[in-house]
Amino acid sequence: MTRFSWCAAMVLALIPFGFPAAAQAKILSSSDAGFAVAHEATVQAKPEEIWAAMIEPAKWWSGAHSWSGKAENFFLTVQPGGCFCEALPDGGFAEHARVIYAQPSHMLRLSGALGPLQSEALTGTLSIEIKPADGGTRISFHYVVGGYARFDLVGFAGAVDGVIGEQHARLTRLVSTSSADPAK
């Protein structure tokens, strides 16, 4: 199997299992060169509480969107060039993104092409902003992806938006209810 067909097979295989439907998309823009997605919510939590939860991705990032299948393998080192990483079996690891900006209780910006985007010549920037809003604190995720991919970026934007939206929802649930998982 060629590298392209392996990558295409991986992307197609992940869509039905790991990504919500594109109908839930909050796509700001998309083109052959890239796309931008955003999710925002206001919660009843202090910025410091949100920050403390946010920098522990093992508590809110979904294991369904990992290489290991286990959320507890995620970690984040908040320092210049710090790693948003995942421990893998046998001493392996996956670097999902690097910290490029951190202002505690206000903004965290990561640079990295997440998931199946990682195998392409793409750059992604995830900005997570925390700011006071009417009656609470607003948590905003903005993910901008650009570059070259061997698949249709416009068509893939909805799938990525679904994953980013899920992680945003999990973080907002965690700081609102003490559990990232949806109520059953």
pLDDT digits (tens, 9 = 90+) for 144-184: 999 999 999 999 999 999 999 999 999 999 999 999 998 86
Nearest to 86 by CA among 107, 63, 104: 63
Q: What pLDDT score was predicted for residue 70?
A: 97
pTM, entire model: 0.86
Instruction: Answer whether residue 69 shows pLDDT above 80.
Output: yes
Give yes or no for a contact between 39 and 167, defined as CB atoms under 8 angstroms apart: no
- Give the number of other Cβ atoms within 10 Å of residue 183's Cβ: 6
Give the 3-state secondary structure of 63-91: HHHCCCCCHHHEEECCCCCCEEEEECHHH
- Per-residue pLDDT at 10: 37
User: What are the pLDDT digits (tens) for 16-49?
Assistant: 333 322 223 489 999 999 999 999 999 999 999 9
Give the pLDDT band of residue 103 (cuts 50, 70, 90): very high
pLDDT digits (tens, 9 = 90+) for 77-93: 999 999 999 999 999 99
All domains of the chain in start order, with CATH: 26-177 (3.30.530.20)
Reading the block at residue 16, the tokens are 């039905």
What DSSP string describes 17-61? Answer: HHS--GGG--EEEEETTEEEEEEEEEESS-HHHHHHHHT-GGGTS
Helices (H), strands (E): how many in the chain? Answer: 3, 8
- Phi then psi for 79, rounded to 5 degrees? -160, 165
Q: Is 14 helix (H, G, I), strand (E, B) or coil?
A: helix
Check if the beta carbon of residue 31 is closer than 8 Å to that of residue 153: yes
Residue 134 has what pLDDT? 86
First to last CA, the chain: 42
Confidence of residue 135 (pLDDT cuts 50, 70, 90): confident
In the numeric block, the tokens 């299948």 are attached to 69
